[in-house]
Amino acid sequence: MTDSNAPRTFVLTLGCPDRTGIVAAISGFIAEIGGWITEAAYHSDATSGWFFTRQAVRADSVQLPIDEIRARFAAVAAELGPATDWRLTDTGETKSVVLLVSKDSHCLTDLLSRAERGELPAQISAVVGNHLDLEPLTTRFGVPFHHVSFPAGDPDGKTAAFEQLRQIVDTHAPEAIVLARFMQILPPDLCAAWQGRAINIHHSFLPSFIGARPYHQAFDRGVKLIGATCHYVTADLDAGPIIEQDVGRISHEQTPTDMVRQGRDIETLVLSRGVRWHLEDRVLVHGRKTVVFA
C-alpha cells in the first residue's frame, strides 16, 4: 500500500567495526550481482569505531531471488567480522504495524490517514486501546480495534492485561509496535521482547521533562520552545535511542492548554517521520544511539 510510483527495491542495512575496504567489499558484491544502486548512505563513527551503511538496489536489476542474495551476502558479511549486524529486506513484502493508544486521537488519525493514502510502507494490522474512546475512529478506517483494560491499583490485573496485549500484538508479527500516545508504561519483559520495534512519542524535547505532564513542566520552567521526541522503548523510561525530535516556538502568551494543542502538531509530525524511517529501514541502532539515513 506504499507509494505505487516507487519502484520495488532491496534494502541492505549493515553495521560493523570500521576498517578499510568495507565499501569496496559491499559495492563489489552489489556490482557482481548486477545491482543498480538508487540510494547509498555511509557513516563512520570515529568515537565508537563503528561503520554503518544503507543501500537501496532496484529489484528489477538483480536476477536472483532475495534468499539467494542473502545467502551469498552472508559470506561477505562474515569477512567483516563476527560483530557484523546486517539485514536485507524487500519493499515488495508488506510490513505490519500495530498501534497502541489511549484517549488522544491526533497521532492515531494521522497514522491511519497516512497508511490509507500510501505514505507508509506498511499495513496497520490492528489498534489496541486501554480505553474504548478511539474505537469508532479506528473502525472508520477499516482497522480492527482491540480493547484491553488496565485496572488501576491492581498489579496482577495489569500483568494479565500486558499478557493479553502481548498476545494480540504478537499475532501480527509486526515490524513496528507504535505507542501513539499510549499512557501505560510497558513492563521490562515487553520492552525486551519488542526491542528495536517498539516506538514511542514523548511530548517533550528529551532529555528535558521526562515523565508526566511535560507541557506543564515546560510552562513552569518558562522555556521558549516546546518539543517532541520519537524514540525506541527501553526499560529505562524515556531514555531509549532517539529517532527524531522537533520543536516549535512558544511565548509567554501560551498557557499549558495552548501548549498541549500546539504540541499535538509537533508530536504528530515527529512520530510519523520516526515510524516511516523505521519502516523504510533507515534507522540503525547502536548502543543508546541511532544512525538515521533519512
Residues 14-33 that bind a copy of itself (CB under 8 A): 20-21, 23-25, 27-28, 30-31
198: helix, strand or coil: strand
* Residue number, 8 or 261, with CB nearest to a copy of itself: 261
User: Any idea of the CA torsion for 136, 139, 143, 145, to the nearest 10 degrees?
Assistant: 50
Cell numbers for 284, please give them. Answer: 540503525
Amino acid at 127: V
Measured from the CB atom, the residue of 25 and 74 that comes closer to a copy of itself is 25
β-strand pairing of 85-90 with 50-58:
unpaired
Distance CA 7, CA 215 (A): 42
Q: Is the CB of 10 or the CB of 162 nearer to a copy of itself? A: 10
Q: What are phi and psi of 85, to 5 degrees?
A: -120, 115
Q: How far apart are CA 194 and CA 176, in angstroms?
A: 9
Which residues, in sequence order, are CB contacts of 269 under 8 Å at separation 6+?
246
- Residue 263 as a binder of a copy of itself (CB under 8 A): the answer is no
- Footprint of a copy of itself on 161-180 (CB under 8 A): none
Q: Tell me which DSSP letter residue 216 carries.
A: H
Region of 238 on the Ramachandran plot (φ > 0 left; ψ -120 to 50 alpha; else beta): left
Which residue stretch of 3-11, 68-76, 160-168, 182-190 sits at the interface with a copy of itself (rule: CB under 8 A)? 3-11
- The catalytic residues are 238
In the complex, minimum distance from the CB of residue 151 to a copy of itself, in angstroms, rounded to a whole number: 27
Out of 65, 76, 109, 132, which residue is the one contacting a copy of itself (CB under 8 A)?
A: 109
Q: Convert residues 193-222 into a mask of x (bound to a copy of itself by CB under 8 A) and - (unbound).
A: ------------xxxxx---------xxxx
63 binds a copy of itself (CB under 8 A): no
Residues that bind a copy of itself (CB under 8 A): 3, 5-6, 20-21, 23-25, 27-28, 30-31, 34-47, 52, 61, 105-106, 109, 113, 116-117, 119, 140, 205-209, 219-225, 227, 241-242, 244-247, 251-253, 255, 257, 261, 265, 269, 288-292, 294
